[in-house]
Amino acid sequence: NKKPELINGINSKGESALIIASKANNIDSVNYILKCNTDVNHQDHLGNTALHYAVSCQNPVIIYHLIKAGADCNLKNNQGKSASDLAY
């Protein structure tokens, strides 16, 4: 049974479950969360999205799934950096 209120919850750092799963390089969790219609472009208190963290962790599989789900490569964090900027 999916619990969308838990999947879409935010912690004290502004992190969604998708961000936490991306930071942990957990592809199974990322894929499960994406199936729950979560906000793929949610930004934490630093302005980072799951894609920012996936790029920082250099995980091409998670990057692929996030982009396929509609992640915005050009969304900037609080430092003015997009996920695309972090890739170079």
Mean pLDDT of 5-19: 88
Distance between CA atoms of 5 and 8, rounded to whole angstroms? 5
Identify the residue whose tokens are 């998708």.
18
**pLDDT tens digits along 13-52:** 999 999 999 999 999 999 999 999 899 999 999 999 999 9
Residue of higher predicted confidence among 74 and 4: 74
And the tokens for 35? 């199936």
The pLDDT value recorded for residue 4 is: 61
And the tokens for 20? 């936490």
The pLDDT value recorded for residue 2 is: 56
pTM, full prediction: 0.91
Distance between CA atoms of 81 and 69, rounded to whole angstroms? 21
Domains and CATH numbers, the chain: 4-86 (1.25.40.20)
Identify the residue whose tokens are 């995980």.
59
